[in-house]
């Protein structure tokens, strides 16, 4: 198959898919990391674990939507990619889905019943659904950019075990470490006291293995699989950002360290997606069977329709999601305190007066 150059719209949509998945990894990435810290920083203490979870309780759901929009966008913009990828990575996706399902329930149901077994069970679900999806996403993405065996019908012939090759596994480890570090830095921003200190210390421990594994993975990728020399640039950005995390975390510049970790994940993501272009799923057995940006996409008309939708609606989405981050930006001290003092005291007072549970009744009786 001759390589056909992708059109402008096809290229734009490849970039938009990268944008949605990057959004997912940047935002849900710290949620995964926070859940890993239910184990690492929770010290088996229900209340401490509750505090850790409540730092992300109001926002994780919105962060997860980036995946749903990313997945549906692949369906809409690159149906061939969607069909081949999702049917081909069947068992890996099944495992991922199971984790994502129980994860939602852990968030919603943990505090709905009060026995030690109940809470502990959901704590473990949180821990597993922090580590496992991160690992699975790493394995999956490493294999997407590396390529799998694809037959003439565009059906993937690589098995689940075939996905667990050294490069795939290293990708899994890198994703776990990156998200873990990211979530730990997020905790230094959103907690107080001992928990904040512990998170700072843990970030200091995690940074070195993250740099080593991350560098090994990205350089391996760049040398063996990347289709562009240009991706050295984001790779370098990611590397510098990770080093900056180490320095900033030691200096206790929590906000800056978190921004650096966002930059590192962003740089790594751009490296992976950038080096994948102009393919969407390379075939390792026969290059002619590779799925390309040009070959796997929807019609130009559909891409145009979808572009208009994204241009109109994405800014609105970004505005209210950022607003929700702003509302829940304060440090929290305990599990029942997702956002304590300070915010709009005046409005709060007025609201309490009007909405307080016994206010009205007492008033009625007098």
Partner 1 sequence: MEALDLARWQFGITTVYHFIFVPLTIGLSLLVAIMQTIAVRSKDPVRKDAWTRLTKFFGSMLIVNFGIGIATGIVQEFQFGMNWSEYSRYVGDVFGAPLALEGLLAFFLESVFLGLWIFGWNKLPEKIHLLTIWMVAIGTMLSAYFIIAANSFMQHPVGAVLNPETGRAELDPSQGSILSVLTNVTTLAAFPHVISGAWLVASAFVTGVAGWHMVRHHNKARELGMETTDGAEHHLMSRDVFRPAVRFGVVAMFVSALVLVISGDFQAKIMFEQQPMKMASAEALCETQSGAPFSILTVGGPDAFAADCDSVTHLIEVPYVTAILATYDPNATLQGVDDLNAQYKEQFGETTTDIFGNEVEADYRPNLFVTYWSFRLMIGLAVFSAIVAFWALWVTRGKGDQARTTGSKAFAWFTVLAIPMPFLANSAGWVFTEMGRQPWVVHPNPLDPTVRLMTIQGVSSNPGWMVLTSMVTFTLLYGVLAVVWFYLMRKAALKGIPIPQRDEQTDELDTPAISFGY
Site for partner 1 in 337-366 (CB under 8 A): 338-339, 343-344, 347-348, 350-352, 354-355, 357-365
Q: Which 3 state secondary structure label does DSSP give 4?
A: coil
Site for partner 1 in 121-160 (CB under 8 A): 153-155
Total number of residues binding partner 1 (CB under 8 A)? 85
Could you tell me the smallest distance in angstroms from the CB atom of residue 64 to partner 1?
A: 7
Helices marked H in 191-287 — which ranges?
193-224, 232-250, 254-276
Could you tell me the smallest distance in angstroms from the CB atom of residue 220 to partner 1?
A: 29
Measured between alpha carbons, how far is 81 from 61 in angstroms, rounded to an integer?
A: 26
Residues in contact with partner 1, shown as a per-residue x/- string from 291 to 320 under the rule CB under 8 A: -------xx-xx--xx--xx--xx--x--x
Query: Is residue 109 a contact residue for partner 1 (CB under 8 A)?
Result: yes
* Distances from the Cα of 209 to the Cα of 132, 175, 273, 277, 314, angstroms: 19, 12, 23, 29, 36
Candidates 173-181, 190-198, 229-237, 322-330: pick the segment binding partner 1 (CB under 8 A): 322-330
Residues in contact with partner 1, shown as a per-residue x/- string from 64 to 103 under the rule CB under 8 A: xx--xx-xxx-xxxxxx-xxxxxx--xx-xx--xx-xxxx
Which one-letter DSSP state was computed for residue 191?
A: B
The label of the residue with tokens 């949620």 reads 31
Could you tell me the smallest distance in angstroms from the CB atom of residue 98 to partner 1?
A: 6
Site for partner 1 in 160-219 (CB under 8 A): none
Measured between alpha carbons, how far is 11 from 263 in angstroms, rounded to an integer?
A: 23
Measured between alpha carbons, how far is 275 from 80 in angstroms, rounded to an integer?
A: 20
Query: Is residue 256 a contact residue for partner 1 (CB under 8 A)?
Result: no
Which one-letter DSSP state was computed for residue 5?
A: P
Q: Which of 8, 112, 117, 224 binds partner 1 (CB under 8 A)?
A: 112
Site for partner 1 in 226-245 (CB under 8 A): none
Q: Where does residue 301 rank: exposed (0-12), middle (13-18), buried (19+ CB within 10 A)?
A: exposed
Could you tell me the smallest distance in angstroms from the CB atom of residue 203 to partner 1?
A: 25
Q: Which of 54, 184, 249, 271 binds partner 1 (CB under 8 A)?
A: 54
Query: Is residue 116 a contact residue for partner 1 (CB under 8 A)?
Result: no
Q: Is residue 168 within 8 Å of 135, Cβ to Cβ?
A: no
The label of the residue with tokens 């640039």 reads 233
């Amino acid at each position: 198959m001759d390589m056909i150059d992708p059109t402008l719209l096809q290229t734009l949509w490849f970039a938009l898919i990268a944008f949605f998945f990057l959004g997912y990894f940047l935002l849900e990435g710290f949620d995964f990391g926070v859940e890993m810290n239910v184990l690492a920083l929770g010290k088996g203490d229900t209340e401490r674990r509750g505090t850790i979870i409540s730092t992300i309780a109001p926002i994780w759901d919105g962060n997860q939507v980036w995946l749903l929009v990313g997945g549906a966008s692949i369906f809409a913009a690159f149906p061939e990619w969607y069909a081949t990828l999702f049917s081909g990575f069947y068992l890996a996706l099944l495992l991922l889905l199971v984790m994502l399902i129980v994860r939602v329930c852990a968030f919603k149901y943990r505090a709905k019943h009060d026995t030690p077994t109940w809470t502990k069970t959901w704590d473990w679900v949180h821990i597993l659904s922090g580590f496992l999806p991160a690992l699975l996403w790493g394995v999956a993405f490493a294999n997407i950019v590396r390529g799998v065996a694809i037959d003439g019908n565009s059906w993937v012939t690589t098995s689940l075990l075939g996905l667990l090759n050294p490069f795939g596994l290293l990708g899994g480890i890198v994703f776990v470490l990156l998200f873990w570090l990211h979530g730990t830095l997020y905790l230094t921003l959103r907690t107080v006291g001992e928990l904040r200190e512990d998170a700072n210390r843990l970030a200091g421990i995690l940074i070195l293995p993250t740099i080593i594994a991350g560098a090994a993975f990205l350089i391996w990728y760049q040398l063996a699989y990347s289709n562009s020399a240009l991706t050295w640039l984001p790779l370098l950005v990611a590397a510098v950002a990770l080093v900056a995390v180490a320095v900033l975390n030691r200096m206790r510049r929590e906000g800056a360290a978190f921004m650096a970790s966002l930059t590192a994940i962003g740089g790594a993501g751009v490296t992976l997606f950038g080096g994948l272009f102009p393919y969407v799923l390379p075939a390792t057995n026969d290059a002619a069977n590779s799925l390309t940006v040009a070959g796997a996409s929807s019609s130009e008309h559909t891409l145009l329709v979808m572009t208009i939708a994204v241009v109109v609606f994405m800014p609105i989405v970004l505005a209210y999601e950022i607003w929700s981050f702003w509302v829940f930006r304060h440090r929290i001290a305990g599990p029942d305190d997702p956002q304590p003092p300070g915010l709009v005291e005046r409005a709060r007072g007025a609201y309490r007066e009007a909405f307080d549970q016994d206010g009205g009744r007492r008033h009625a009786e007098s």
